[in-house]
Chain A
């Protein structure tokens, strides 16, 4: 059944897909400001689209696609780049819902931040959000094979970085 974006449907979409949209933006930018903007702009685009959607899946995919495009656009902006260069702890501040161990989270994001943006987004969307590679390809506007390649390379890079981190830890504790 077609879905018209009226007030009720809009609120439901914000509630239901808001987290996913925000985390896509976060995966690209690792910046609270940029994620806030992308979140806001993505849902404004939904509100202003004025078009019916075929079904829930159509809405969800459309939102992810728009969020990914807007995230990439925001990264291209020079001003956003300046903000992205802000210290990671400052960027993360306020974006986390009471992390149990803020330092552990920061360590994780610091490693992920070393991946190129597209790789980082693919990793987060696939391993954390559970999207299939087809869904990620659709959202990012690239080929399915490209996503798989990005995931493979990201894993290799992460494994290498983790291998470099662990010996240091051992030496410091031992």
Chain B
């Protein structure tokens, strides 16, 4: 057994990030300073009910507003960051609206798109009249063309606590008010599988499916908060 542990340790010692990945993360620190990022995120609490039909709509809007989250927004502005795989980055995106419309939860996201591939090349987003959203290099060399990233997933983020004002954070972190988390959890669970319409400037609205089933319980939300972590909600292109 000890021999195996030694071999495992030797193999583990050879695991590590490559320098390009390290450099890409370091590049992110050259972009907005944390204070600026916070200021940028302060623009994100823009939840408003598009329409309030049905219990879920009222509950979702009320709970989100009540806990003062208002911070469902898309991937952070890291356009200069090399991503592990080609992926769309929504620069300066924020949720413009959330509500319930015709039996669907509708989240409007306003964002500027950008995309880089694994070789740091900028990739333009092109929107065909029909067919899947496709990407191609801006210089058009070689006619390279990337399909929308596998599964077409984009990622929304609910920032718990970190983006809230002091007053909101107090409300959120108050251990005597676990119902806040429960309400939020119920809303998120109710929204699982909902269709999300992403509206970006200059792009036609695109439908995504909201996946929240990975959120195990309201305690899960609370645990996220205790580590200052983000809770990720998957938006999968439907």
A residues at B contact (CB < 8 Å): 5-7, 10-11, 14-15, 18-19, 22-23, 26-27, 33, 35-37, 39-41, 43-45, 47-51, 62, 65-66, 69-70, 73, 76-77, 79, 94-99, 104-105, 108-109, 111-112, 123-124, 127-129, 141, 155, 158-159, 162
Contacts and interface: CB of A to CB of B under 8 A. Distances in A.
B53 interface: no
B15 A65 contact: no
Given A40-B24, A49-B34, A69-B223, 13 more contacts: A7-B29, A22-B16, A23-B15, A27-B12, A33-B84, A33-B85, A36-B85, A51-B228, A69-B229, A77-B214, A95-B16, A108-B4, A128-B12
B76 interface: yes
Contacts of A105: 11, 14
A23 B227 contact: no
Given A48-B76, A105-B11, A127-B5, A62 B84 contact: no
A44 B228 contact: no
A108 to B, nearest CB: 5
B38 interface: yes
B119 interface: no
Given A76-B214, A77-B234, A40 B84 contact: yes
Contact of B17 (A39, A128, A129): A39
B22 A15 contact: yes
